A and B are shown apart, each in its own frame.
Chain A
């Protein structure tokens, strides 16, 4: 029977010959991702952990990234409890503050691999579909149960086929493409579904695929996945992952889809998601001239080297407009190091950017770069919900790194094609 990516992986991992959408199967995920929420997760099962232990010390991946360095005594205690848990149960895959944002770290460290199942207590766990991994978000309670049992149920999702054609015209980027797709699909257009990218994906590198996969959940998707091709394999070579350490799955040609869509990348223009929903997407022309108090380049959506470089290219030799401020967060330590070596960080700092530690920073409004009432921020993040950056009376606009950098130069939302 022809099968989609999700059907193939779930059939294999649940030891069924075939599975159909809607069917509930039991699987043992390869990894469970947690971040700063590892403390509240383990606190739910303190007694059971003492009695039964962690089912497999290789299962958890813990990355401290959400509120780093600790912003208060409370968040410091949170980190302290996680370090104690890691030591007590000999958790191997632990990344302390400064390593980077959990999703970036999982892929960069070769833990997010093709054909693996990774469940994470974070909604953007769907990011690893960029490299052909079956990954999706769960809640804290489920993460706690997984630590004890190592298995859970998953419903086989319906699948959506996104056929891409053409090529993006820089400075139009993968971020503009995914915002364009979400604007079209709407915030719930792919709810419970597995979104597969087909067609001209070979014009997108792993960093760009990551941006697309990362935002799958913003249209409700369970997964968001790319085929494993030479681009993926070259990426694995550069990070030292052996080609025989994973198994590649992909959809059959005649697999059945709930919906098939086609997007011509050459027609995509710079776009902006207006407050307060991600699917409120408009052409840059409609946003031009809106004054912004803060500009943010970073987060798990757009904190990779190519994103910092796209911003630096526009800012080189110029200055951030005095009416605004620019915050930059590299998504990981290794990206940070590369950006230092290449001079990207120097360019950004000279232009007036404030560099924040590799982590989530202002993205979730828990610390750093919070907004005041009435302020507007243009950000490369993935969410612009009311209150997201700490203040319910502030506004967040989402755009590409180039658009954010162009806006930092003028102090108002600007088209990177006109500023460059």
Chain B
């Protein structure tokens, strides 16, 4: 498991350039361009179970869900940031991508600490420090448990 560390205000253009928005729609088309203008190695080297650490305002900018779809498809276990931009946060909920808002955990990671994450327990361990995060509100948990908003919606429609 590798930790990818980035700074503040990683915006959606860095995560997925706008120029591809209307030409890349399938997940296979999206993946190679993920983080292209931020870190050329990311799409080549990322592996399932990796974690991203970032600073403030991660995902700011356009309403662009390709970064969320791409990170999820690459199997990113969680994005840990000091804070997230609103639309990105909502998009992550809707895709079931785990976001952890913890400025303390981000500060604790300087680049060499061992990192482990237990989603069940709501526990993130960075070096010798343990951080806990609260459970999701029920409305949002229901979406996560269904496997994302579309699955949740489809189930709901079937019941009606």
What residues of chain A have their CB less than 8 Å away from a CB belonging to chain B? Answer: 24, 36-37, 40, 43-45, 48, 52, 66-67, 72, 74-75, 78, 120-123, 125, 136-142, 144-145, 148-149, 153, 187-188, 191-192, 217, 220, 222, 277, 364-366, 370, 383, 385-388, 390, 392
Contacts and interface: CB of A to CB of B under 8 A. Distances in A.
Contact of A385 (B13, B86, B94, B140): B13
Contact of A387 (B37, B57, B83, B86): B37
A220 B13 contact: no
B41 interface: no
Interface stretch (B42-50, B114-122, B125-133, B145-153): B145-153
Contacts of B149: 141-142, 145
Given A192-B86, A220-B86, A48 B21 contact: no
B150 A220 contact: no
Contacts of A138: 63, 87, 90
B139 interface: yes
Contact of B18 (A43, A139, A388): A388
B139 A188 contact: no
A365 B19 contact: yes
B157 A142 contact: no
Contacts of B62: 122-123, 364, 383
B95 A137 contact: no
A44 B154 CA distance: 11
Closest 3 CB pairs of A and B: A139-B91, A188-B57, A385-B13
Given A138-B90, A142-B94, A188 B25 contact: no
B148 A220 contact: no
Interface in B76-129: 83, 85-87, 90-91, 94-95
Interface in B2-23: 9, 11, 13-14, 17-19, 21-23
B22 A75 contact: yes
Contact of A149 (B17, B18, B86, B157): B157
| Chain B, interface residues (CB within 8 Å), range | 35 or more
Nearest to B13: A385
A233 B141 CA distance: 43
A153 B56 CA distance: 25
A241 B83 CA distance: 41
B143 to A, nearest CB: 9
Contact of A74 (B22, B37, B85): B22
Nearest to A43: B25
A74 B29 CA distance: 13
Contacts of B14: 385-387
Contacts of B157: 48, 52, 148-149
Contacts of A148: 153, 157
Given A141-B149, A149-B156, A366 B60 contact: no
Nearest to A221: B86
A392 B25 CA distance: 21
B95 A123 contact: no
A180 B19 CA distance: 29
6 contacts: A78-B22, A137-B86, A139-B94, A217-B87, A220-B57, A390-B17
A217 B80 CA distance: 22
Given A141-B91, A188-B56, A365-B18, A121 B37 contact: no
B13 A142 contact: no
A149 B83 contact: no
Given A142-B149, A188-B83, A364 B61 contact: no
A100 B94 CA distance: 30
Contacts of A122: 62-63
A188 B13 CA distance: 16
Given A191-B57, A383-B61, A139 B22 contact: no
A121 B57 contact: no
Contact of B86 (A45, A191, A370): A191
A149 B153 contact: yes
B71 interface: no
Given A123-B87, A145-B149, A365-B18, A386 B37 contact: yes
Contacts of B17: 365, 387, 390, 392
A56 B47 CA distance: 42
B137 interface: yes
A216 to B, nearest CB: 11
B18 A364 contact: yes
Contacts of B64: 139
Contacts of B144: none
A137 B63 contact: yes
B18 A387 contact: yes
B22 A66 contact: yes
Given A123-B63, A386-B14, A392-B37, A191 B83 contact: yes
